[in-house]
Amino acid sequence: MRHGNYQGRHLKTAPPSTRIRKKGGSRRAGKHHFLSDLLLVFAGALLGAALRVLITHFCDLVQYSFYGWDWTYLFINVIGAFAFGLLVSLFKVRFPSKEKKWYVFVSESAAASFTAFDLVFSQISLLFLRPNIVVLIFYVAVNFAACIVFSSLGVFLGSGKKPAGIKRSGSRHELSSERGKTRLPGPRHGY
């Protein structure tokens, strides 16, 4: 039989006021964490964009242009895509326990703002003045394909694993190959 002023074991160890304070505190800490991440992203993006502007000034490949293509942007995009893929897979897949701040600073912001997506489309408007629509589409397609190939190369070099489509032997890998059937979640890299 319980006593009249019985409060329960959980209430003795953690009173309600403390719990409420803890919740508010974690929310405030989350907000603080987000703001610090945002500042890191801003600083890293400044670095990446400055690097891009410097390369555009000093590495002028317009003299080798073909139908007015700017090879400098392709060069920047390929390097940035490879670096971003490599960094993301290193931080998220191979070494997920590493410091998150470095991931945010280097890959989320610096490598991402380094590449020039819309400058490629701006080239289209210059090319548009010439009536060759095939060259126009081909220019963007080359940029897209090169970036996807190089970022995939970076991802697969950085993760150091075989692609998930290849079946591997061993009890540990058998579980991952059954992922689709048993509805288990994939790797938690956020994409």
Partner 1 sequence: MWIDVLVVVTSAFGTALRFCQDRFFKGFKNSRSASIFAASLISCLVCGILNAMIFLLETSPVLKEVICAGFLCGYSSFAVLGTAAALLTKRKKGWEKSIFYSLSAFILSLCFYFIGFFGILVLH
Rule CB under 8 A: which residues touch partner 1?
Answer: 34, 37-38, 41-46, 48-50, 52-53, 57, 77, 80-81, 83-85, 88-89, 93, 108-109, 111-122, 124-125, 128, 137, 140-141, 143-144, 147-152, 154-156, 159, 163-165, 179-180, 186-187, 189-191
Cα(188)–Cα(165) distance, rounded to whole angstroms? 17
Q: Which of 70-94 are b and which e, b meaning 16 or more Cβ less than 10 Å from the residue's Cβ?
A: bebbbebbbbbbbbbbbbbbbbbbe
Cα(108)–Cα(87) distance, rounded to whole angstroms? 9
| Start-to-end C-alpha separation, the chain | 54
Closest approach, Cβ 187 to partner 1, in A, equals 6
Cα(119)–Cα(60) distance, rounded to whole angstroms? 15
Closest approach, Cβ 65 to partner 1, in A, equals 18
Q: Residues 37, 43, 48, 53: what is their CA dihedral angle, to the nearest 10 degrees?
A: 150
Closest approach, Cβ 133 to partner 1, in A, equals 11
**CA 98 to chain CA mean position, Å:** 15
Residue (11 or 48) nearer to partner 1, CB? 48
Q: Any idea which residue has 């940035």 for tokens?
A: 80
Closest approach, Cβ 156 to partner 1, in A, equals 7
Closest approach, Cβ 67 to partner 1, in A, equals 17
Residue (34 or 95) nearer to partner 1, CB? 34
Residue (14 or 38) nearer to partner 1, CB? 38
Residue (69 or 116) nearer to partner 1, CB? 116
Task: Please give the backbone phi and psi of residue 68, each rounded to the nearest 5 degrees, phi first.
Answer: 80, 15
Residue (11 or 46) nearer to partner 1, CB? 46
